[in-house]
Structure 1
Amino acid sequence: MNKTDRLLAIVLELQRKEVVRAEDLATRFETSTRTIYRDIQALSEASVPIIGAPGKGYSLMEGYFLPPISFTVPEVVSLLIGTDFIEQQFDDDYRIRAQAARGKIKAILPESVRNETSRVRKAIRLLISDKQVTPSKEKEYLKSIRRAIVDERKINFHYVKRLTDSEGKRHSVRTVAPYGLVLVQGSWMLVARCDLRQDIRHFRLSRMSELIDLEERFERPAHFNLREYTPPDDRHLRIRLRFNHDIADKVKQSNNHYIEDMEEHQDGLHVVLRVRQLDELLQWVLGWGAGVVVLEPESFRNRIRDEAQKMLKRY
């Protein structure tokens, strides 16, 4: 990154954050703190109102904003593809805002950039499969949950688990404090603190029903950051499978999120997965028919054998 680009990037970083240390800027732009000091001095001499607080860092004087920035063609294409994605995956409020943002971006572009961007976009298409399109009910819940997160209000809903819990139940009614929403492989997940479990839990919006906004307020913990949050990994069961070579490519494209490792061998594709319960993989493995063999554990081999015998009796 040359000096001019770095100076612009420093102003953008200061505009985005309240206070930034020279050390953090040096790490961000892969340079020395001495260089950052010189850059700050250059920006100050160029009439950028930067305030330095000893021991704390630098900040921009309140009310200062960088003038409009010119975008390159790849940058504009990236932004417009982003609006396409939001329009397809988010609720109606954001769909309308994405359309408005796209119109504003196009309106401020110089004609040469606008024409070049249009030419590039004609060669790029964001195509989401039917399985990944967010159903209308989920979009409705997405909108309600998003508002509840902003307003810090609890919500209540009926929830159906994919598998039974330790008590043999699948259905439950939950009251939760919603912390954030995460899009995982085309499915929206709610990260929330559950009153029933007294801990953070994850809920798939597609398994919710009868969602109600409550008046009860909550306060999100100051230490919680959704971008840094990592759910505890309680998948302790290791399963090893061997797939025939003729279906190896399909297995790789299946994107099963339980897969930990894949390795090609002479006798087939060896796949390692980790799950909480064997039932989480039962239907998936059976779906590959005779093209897969369970190598371990023995208990899962027996489970597959039992299911195959039951299927044989039906026919």
Structure 2
Amino acid sequence: MNKTDRMLAIVLELQRKKQMRAEDLAAVFETSVRTIYRDIQALSEGGVPVVGAPGIGYSLMEGYFLPPVSLTVEEAVTLLIGADFVEQRFDASYGRKVQSARGKIEAVLPDGVRSEVSRVHSSIRLLALGDTFTDSNEKKCLEVLRTAVLEERKVKFDYSKKIPGDDGRRDSVRTAAPYGLVFTHGAWLLIAKCDLRQDLRHFRLSRMSGLTMLDETFQRPADFVLHRYQPLDDRNTIIRVLADAGIADKLKESNNFFMEDAEDRPEGCLFTFRVRRPEELLPSILSWGAGVVVLEPVSFRNRVREEVEKMLKRY
């Protein structure tokens, strides 16, 4: 990064974070503290009102705002693609704000850049296909949960979970303190402390119904940071499956959540899956048909055979 770009970036950092030490700025821009001192001096001489306080850091004088920043074609396209994603995946409230934001981005672009951005953006499209699409119920849940997370208010909802058994599901009523929302593998998850379990739990929004926000508040732990949170991985059961060459590519492209490894062999492709319970992989195994065979564990191999025999009786 050259000096001019770094000085502009410093102003943006100060405008965004309000106050930063020279050491912190040096770490962000991977340069020396002495270089940051020189940049700050150059900004001050250029008329940018940077205020320094010993032991505290630098800040911009109150009321100072950086003029609109010019965007490159690539930067503008990146923002517009992000807007497309938000419009598809988030709730209606954010969807309306996206339309407004998109218009503002396009309005500040110079004519030549705007036409090039339009040309590039028109060649890229995000598709929400099949069960990865955020449905209307999830979008309604998103709007309630976003508010609950920000206002630190508990929520109550009915939750339906698929489990092995006679009826294949369990319904329960949960009250929880919502800590954050995560979008992963095409699904929205709520990370929340469940009153029933007295521990952090993950709830799929697609399995929620009757969601309401309560008046009861909570305080999120100071040491909980969503972007650093790593849930406990309790998938301890290994399943190995041999797939025919004709279906191997399809399995690789499926991006199955439980897939750990794929090893090409002369007799086909050996896939390794890691699950909590073998039943979690059963629907996928059946959907792949005769093109795959379960090698281990033997108990799951037998379980697949039993399910196939039940299917034969129905036909």
**Which TM-score applies when normalising by structure 2?**
0.92
Structure 2, unmatched stretches of 5+, are: none
Residue type at the aligned position of 1:209: S
Residue 41 of structure 1: CA displacement? 2.6
Residue 204 of structure 1: CA displacement? 0.6
- The answer for the alignment partner of 1:284 in structure 2 is 284
8 A contact 1:189–1:205 mirrored in 2: yes
Cα 1:60/1:114, change in 2 over 3 Å:
same
Cα 1:267/1:216, change in 2 over 3 Å:
same
| CA distance in structure 1 between the partners assigned to 2:242 and 2:19 by the alignment | 54
- The answer for the alignment partner of 1:180 in structure 2 is 180
| CA distance in structure 2 between the partners assigned to 1:194 and 1:261 by the alignment | 33
Q: Which moved more, 1:30-39 or 1:101-110?
A: 30-39
| CA distance in structure 2 between the partners assigned to 1:169 and 1:119 by the alignment | 49
| CA distance in structure 2 between the partners assigned to 1:224 and 1:312 by the alignment | 51
| CA distance in structure 1 between the partners assigned to 2:23 and 2:272 by the alignment | 42
Residue type at the aligned position of 2:116: E
Pair 1:209-2:246 in alignment: no
| CA distance in structure 2 between the partners assigned to 1:306 and 1:163 by the alignment | 18
- The answer for the alignment partner of 2:192 in structure 1 is 192
- The answer for the alignment partner of 2:220 in structure 1 is 220
Residue 284 of structure 1: CA displacement? 1.0
The alignment partner of 1:170 has SS state of strand
Q: Residues 1-315 of structure 1: matches in 2 within 5 Å?
A: 1-163=1-163, 170-315=170-315
Residue type at the aligned position of 2:146: R
Aligned residue pairs total 313
| CA distance in structure 1 between the partners assigned to 2:308 and 2:211 by the alignment | 39
The alignment partner of 1:220 has SS state of coil
1:207-229 CA distances to partner (integer Å, 9 max, x unpaired)? Answer: 01111221111111111111111
% identical equivalent positions: 62
1:259-312 CA distances to partner (integer Å, 9 max, x unpaired)? Answer: 112222222122211111111111111211121122222222222222223333
| CA distance in structure 1 between the partners assigned to 2:264 and 2:198 by the alignment | 44
1:48-90 CA distances to partner (integer Å, 9 max, x unpaired)? Answer: 3333444444333333321111111111111112222111111
Cα 1:314/1:74, change in 2 over 3 Å:
same
1:162-197 CA distances to partner (integer Å, 9 max, x unpaired)? Answer: 2259xx971110001111111112221111111001
| CA distance in structure 2 between the partners assigned to 1:293 and 1:224 by the alignment | 43
8 A contact 2:162–2:169 mirrored in 1: no
The alignment partner of 1:38 has SS state of helix
Q: Which moved more, 1:286-295 or 1:69-78?
A: 286-295
The alignment partner of 1:192 has SS state of strand
| CA distance in structure 1 between the partners assigned to 2:27 and 2:301 by the alignment | 51
8 A contact 1:164–1:170 mirrored in 2: no
The alignment partner of 1:193 has SS state of strand
| CA distance in structure 2 between the partners assigned to 1:57 and 1:302 by the alignment | 66
**Which TM-score applies when normalising by structure 1?**
0.92
8 A contact 1:190–1:205 mirrored in 2: yes
Residue type at the aligned position of 1:16: R
1:70-116 CA distances to partner (integer Å, 9 max, x unpaired)? Answer: 11111111111222211111111111100011111112222111112
Q: Which moved more, 1:38-47 or 1:217-226?
A: 38-47
